[in-house]
Chains A and B, each alone.
Chain A
Amino acid sequence: MGYLRRKIVFYAVALWAAVTLNFAIPRLIKGNPVDIMLARAAQGGQPMPAEARHALELQFGVSDDPLWQQYLGYVGNLLHGRLGLSVTYYPTPVSTVIAQSLPWTLGLAGVALLVTVVLGLGLGMLAGWRRGGAVDALIPATTFLAAIPYFWLALILLYVLGLGLGWFPLNGGYDYAGVQMGPTLAFAASVASHGALPALTVVASSVAGWMLGMRNMMVSTMAEDYVVMAEAKGLSPRRVMLAYAARNAVLPSVAGFAISLGFVVSGLLATEVVFAYPGIGFALLQGVQNADYPLMQGIFLIISLAVLGANLLVDLLYGVIDPRTRKA
Chain B
Amino acid sequence: MSVLSVRDLSVVYGGPRPTHAVRGVSLELDRGEVLGIAGESGCGKSTLAYALTRLLRPPASVTGGEIVFRAGDGEEVDVLALRGEELRRFRWRRIAMVFQSAMNALNPVISVRRQLADVLATHEPGMSRRAREERCGELLDLVGIDRARLSSYPHELSGGMRQRVLIAMAMALNPDVVVLDEPTTALDVVVQREILQEIDRLRAMFGFAVVFITHDLSLLLEISDRLAVMYGGRIVESGTARDLMAAPAHPYTVGLLGSFPSLRGERRVLHGIPGSPPDLSLVEPGCSFAPRCPYAFDACGEVTPAPLPVGATTAACLQHDRTLRPAGPDPGLAARRFTAEDAGGLRPSRPPGDPEPGGHQTGVRDHGGART
Interface 1/0 per residue, A117-148 and B, CB below 8 Å: 00000000000000000000000000000000
Number of interface residues of A (CB under 8 A): 22
Docked CA distance A239–B89 (Å): 14
Docked CA distance A104–B95 (Å): 58
Residue B347 lies at the interface, judged by CB distance under 8 Å to chain A:
no
Docked CA distance A322–B110 (Å): 9
Docked CA distance A236–B90 (Å): 12
Are A225 and B100 CB-contacts (below 8 A) given A235-B118, A239-B118, A243-B110? yes
Residue A48 lies at the interface, judged by CB distance under 8 Å to chain B:
no
Residue A275 lies at the interface, judged by CB distance under 8 Å to chain B:
no
Are A244 and B107 closer than 8 Å at their CB atoms? yes
Are A247 and B107 CB-contacts (below 8 A) given A234-B88, A235-B122, A236-B122? yes
Interface 1/0 per residue, A245-258 and B, CB below 8 Å: 00110010000000
Docked CA distance A321–B109 (Å): 7
Are B106 and A226 closer than 8 Å at their CB atoms? yes
**Candidate in A229, A236, A244, A247 with the most chain B CB atoms within 10 angstroms:** A229
List the count of A-B residue pairs having beta carbons below 8 Å apart. Answer: 74
For residue A244, which residues in chain B have a CB less than 8 angstroms away from its CB? Answer: 107, 110
Residue B96 lies at the interface, judged by CB distance under 8 Å to chain A:
yes
For residue B274, which residues in chain A have a CB less than 8 angstroms away from its CB? Answer: none
Are B109 and A323 closer than 8 Å at their CB atoms? yes
Docked CA distance A226–B101 (Å): 10
Are B110 and A225 closer than 8 Å at their CB atoms? no
Residue A269 lies at the interface, judged by CB distance under 8 Å to chain B:
no
Residue A55 lies at the interface, judged by CB distance under 8 Å to chain B:
no
Are A232 and B118 closer than 8 Å at their CB atoms? no
B142 → A minimal CB distance (Å) = 17
Residue A231 lies at the interface, judged by CB distance under 8 Å to chain B:
yes
Residue B153 lies at the interface, judged by CB distance under 8 Å to chain A:
yes
Are A232 and B53 closer than 8 Å at their CB atoms? yes
Are B153 and A232 closer than 8 Å at their CB atoms? no
B106 → A minimal CB distance (Å) = 6
Are A231 and B55 closer than 8 Å at their CB atoms? yes
For residue A228, which residues in chain B have a CB less than 8 angstroms away from its CB? Answer: 55, 99
Among A232, A243, A322, A324, the residue within 8 A (CB) of B92 is A232
Residue B93 lies at the interface, judged by CB distance under 8 Å to chain A:
yes
Residue B97 lies at the interface, judged by CB distance under 8 Å to chain A:
yes
Are A229 and B105 CB-contacts (below 8 A) given A323-B153, A323-B155? yes
Are A225 and B88 CB-contacts (below 8 A) given A233-B122, A323-B153? no
Residue B108 lies at the interface, judged by CB distance under 8 Å to chain A:
yes
Residue B123 lies at the interface, judged by CB distance under 8 Å to chain A:
yes
Interface 1/0 per residue, B164-178 and A, CB below 8 Å: 000001000000000
Interface residues of B in 46-105 (CB under 8 A from A): 53, 55, 88-93, 96-97, 99-101, 104-105
Docked CA distance A211–B58 (Å): 23
Docked CA distance A182–B108 (Å): 49
For residue B93, which residues in chain A have a CB less than 8 angstroms away from its CB? Answer: 234
Among A224, A232, A234, A324, the residue within 8 A (CB) of B122 is A234
For residue B106, which residues in chain A have a CB less than 8 angstroms away from its CB? Answer: 226, 229
Among A233, A251, A322, A324, the residue within 8 A (CB) of B118 is A233
For residue B111, which residues in chain A have a CB less than 8 angstroms away from its CB? Answer: 323
Are B92 and A234 closer than 8 Å at their CB atoms? yes
For residue A230, which residues in chain B have a CB less than 8 angstroms away from its CB? Answer: 107, 118
For residue B155, which residues in chain A have a CB less than 8 angstroms away from its CB? Answer: 323-324
Residue B334 lies at the interface, judged by CB distance under 8 Å to chain A:
no
For residue B92, which residues in chain A have a CB less than 8 angstroms away from its CB? Answer: 232-234
Question: Can you add 7 more A-B contacts, CB < 8 Å, to A232-B96, A323-B109?
Answer: A225-B99, A225-B105, A232-B97, A235-B118, A244-B110, A247-B107, A321-B109
Are A236 and B88 closer than 8 Å at their CB atoms? yes
Residue B119 lies at the interface, judged by CB distance under 8 Å to chain A:
yes
Interface 1/0 per residue, B107-138 and A, CB below 8 Å: 11111000000110011000000000000000
Docked CA distance A197–B105 (Å): 46
Docked CA distance A234–B97 (Å): 11
For residue B96, which residues in chain A have a CB less than 8 angstroms away from its CB? Answer: 232
Docked CA distance A271–B110 (Å): 40
Docked CA distance A230–B221 (Å): 31
Can you sample 10 A-B contacts with CB below 8 Å?
A226-B108, A229-B97, A232-B55, A232-B91, A232-B92, A233-B119, A234-B90, A235-B118, A243-B107, A243-B118
Are A225 and B108 CB-contacts (below 8 A) given A234-B119, A324-B153? no
**Candidate in A239, A243, A251, A323 with the most chain B CB atoms within 10 angstroms:** A323
A221 → B minimal CB distance (Å) = 10
Docked CA distance A323–B90 (Å): 32
